[in-house]
A and B are shown apart, each in its own frame.
Chain A
């Protein structure tokens, strides 16, 4: 009842706030009512014998004042603070509209800063904050073995079985491995991405199929039925999304498989994104059963209450136990347990954080710029504020006016900034190539979600506080009268000049940091692209070839096929030479072997080296240098003595003062058939990605090993791109059952490699931020100098009237600007070395204190700053002293 009365009263008052005409009518009506009241009272007073004047005075006195009464009536009729707010808003809008230049500049700057940081935050949020699309993703660990060379290496199947049996920290522990497969289709064999997983794989991730069933326990053991789980995309692509797909037969790698289920559309296993077929592991073949053959990776769900650290400690002790048990196979094999999310977003995390920091700095510059604009404006509004104060506006009321104005500015800036952020995100995610997008499935949920809006709201609140406080610092709220005095100019400028100058120094400092950051990243990128790969990357075409085991069961058949491919492709017009390799250069370090040297003492250490099977013409095709000895010959197959070529790093590492040619290398047991004679030393062909170190590498003759999956490298005399379609069709014309994948050129591959992509994108984005920062910083400097000149016109006039030369006035201004610039640059250089140290993980071949970059940045900023202050200095110097003095 009481509540209802209150609601009724408040809503009526609220309506009156907005109903302008109605409240004016109420005012008039109340004026009438009061007039009547006074008349009644005056009548009574007259009757008591007062004079008419006295009667009225007495009546008004007892009423408590005419205006006071009207005022308190009005306050009861509406809601005063909302009423004031509307007035303030109205006034603020009028103010902003009147100084349109200021408004547009300020809003644009804010929008720029907010847009950039919101967009970057959205990326960081999507990648680093949002959970992975699995059940309880924080409890999933990525578990592998570790060795000195890798850190995280792969698991072997026997080790996995032992780990799974012995551990007490995981509620479930599963593996995945393998990669390509060939799918039989009506148009021939097509390469598809497959993954062999243990039975509980999907269960551990906490994702269930939308059609059919999950793998059952034990279905991953050898000798069980061939079954396959489809990804949603695989179901759509190969089975047209048919609802009756469960139970269908399909042929993979020449073997029949039965489809048992389809995973949901939202599911993708990020470390192996794009996988279409999941098969149960079903150990088979020599590698699966050998303890020293590491090809798998593990995922595990932590038991309740177990931390990653505890899990890691236990896995390490289990690994140590296995190392004692199997000293030959497991020497140096430790354990690595990391959150799955760290494995998935690991390499983009530092980049995103850097970009976020860059955007944050840009936002800071924008805010500082707007704040200093507000300072200038408040200077020119002293009179207005003083007048309003004199007319009775309270201090609080005046302050509220400034808060309202800054809220309005910030709201406009935020609205525009969000639009900008949305556009930026759209553009950037459009620019992300598909291969990056599959690796970063978390970016697909990118958008202006609640996190981003909250982030922007946080920025907005801080900006409002900053912008409301800044002009208040400057305003003579307690010395209103000063503001009213005519020609108030002189000393007032001093405080402002110092404060404004400090702001500009801050801006310049930030600009330097961003410029240095961009310079270092740019230089790293340049260095990365120009890293010496020790072979000729130009005019090199490449394609992956898959040979189904079912079609070519015997090694001799495969060798004959490979020879046929080499001769057919080599005969194509424009082809200079053709080679084959099991792993193309500039892809990754890995696929390693342990080697041992004949005739040297050995105590079981694992000498880990990259291992590549290459054809005779491979080194010639790459145009890499043979440093000693000879290349392989085309006739070196299984019937010839086993030979090996080593790279220079291996030679230096293991044959420091010795001629390696003629030495013998074998496996850890020196089993007779593993022993090979070193016949050549080749220059260090870069096997790993651009930013990886050179590893010792051993090359085996292609025909002395089994290879069903290899990469064809083709050196052409001219455009390597145009030959790609011919290359693919030639291979298919030899046997339509062969699979081909990824026809590309070496340069394209390098350019679009994830390493290059990450470095390039961070360099460009930070570069963009830096350019904007430079622009804003210089504009800020210009503003400060120009304002200070305009404030000092009189002083300059006096100086010139007293005989100062134009050049000395010019120098006076330039000296001040130069001082600010120097301080800004010096502070910026110091800070940027610190900032660069923080992001040195992103730098490649470039020191954080790279002198060239620092000098270039200082020069660029110094020049732009001088240019920006030249204009006001020139204007100051061309002041006509007579005009300047008269103007006062």
Chain B
């Protein structure tokens, strides 16, 4: 296993939104765990940095939160996607795919066909 990468500026929000979309309502720890797993443990994430990001998304109206009870009967705060959040996610995902596609062309150029 090589070095673990830091989370790039601005990508955390996208990961959070996508994770919630995939998992449905989820608490902070669950989201953090899932992000780590999804990255195949390649990302080094301080779980604490997740919370300001969640707060920001909530302030922007992309997610909403409420207290609930987890499957192992613990009280926890659950975050779920709002409609605006879903739209934001779609748009951000599209943008990101486009960006990576472009970058990809630069990094692994296809040999000229001629």
Contact = CB atoms under 8 A, between A and B. Distances in A.
B52 interface: yes
Given A40-B29, A73-B55, A5 B48 contact: no
Contact of B52 (A32, A44, A76): A76
A62 B47 contact: yes
A68 B48 CA distance: 8
A13 interface: yes
Interface string A34-70: 1011011101100000000000000000111100110
A69 to B, nearest CB: 3
A37 B28 contact: yes
Contact of B59 (A12, A37, A39, A64): A12
Given A8-B60, A8-B61, A9-B56, A69 B29 contact: no
Nearest to A41: B29
B108 interface: no
Contacts of B56: 9, 76
A33 B46 CA distance: 16
Contact of B51 (A33, A43, A65): A33
Contacts of A12: 59
B46 A62 contact: yes
Contact of B46 (A30, A63, A75, A76): A63
A59 to B, nearest CB: 8
B61 A5 contact: yes
B27 interface: yes
Interface stretch (B1-9, B15-23, B74-82): B74-82
B59 A13 contact: yes
B72 interface: yes
B49 interface: yes
Contacts of A75: 52
Contacts of B30: 40
A35 to B, nearest CB: 10
Category for how many chain A residues contact B: 20 to 34
A636 B21 CA distance: 120
B89 interface: no
Which secondary structure dominates chain A's binding surface? helix
A5 B85 CA distance: 10
Contacts of B74: 36, 39-40
A72 B76 contact: no
B86 to A, nearest CB: 13
Given A30-B51, A63-B48, A69-B51, A40 B59 contact: no
A33 B60 CA distance: 20
Nearest to B46: A64
A661 to B, nearest CB: 105
A40 B51 contact: no
Interface in B65-110: 70, 72, 74-77, 84, 88
Contact of B27 (A29, A37, A73): A37
B48 A64 contact: yes
A68 B50 CA distance: 12
B27 A40 contact: yes
Given A33-B77, A68-B48, A72-B48, A8 B59 contact: yes
B62 A43 contact: no
A36 B72 CA distance: 12
A530 interface: no
A6 interface: yes
B51 A36 contact: no
A75 B27 CA distance: 21
Contact of A40 (B46, B48, B60, B76): B76
B46 to A, nearest CB: 3
A77 interface: yes
A43 B49 contact: no
Contacts of B47: 37, 41, 62-64
A633 to B, nearest CB: 105
A77 B55 contact: yes
Contacts of B84: 5
Contact of B55 (A8, A41, A76): A76
Interface string A430-454: 0000000000000000000000000
5 contacts: A44-B33, A64-B47, A69-B48, A76-B55, A77-B55
Interface of A: 5-6, 8-9, 12-13, 29-30, 32-34, 36-37, 39-41, 43-44, 62-65, 68-69, 72-73, 75-77
Given A5-B84, A8-B59, A9-B56, 9 more contacts: A13-B59, A33-B28, A36-B29, A36-B76, A40-B76, A63-B47, A68-B48, A76-B55, A76-B59
Closest 7 CB pairs of A and B: A64-B46, A69-B48, A64-B48, A9-B59, A76-B52, A5-B60, A40-B29
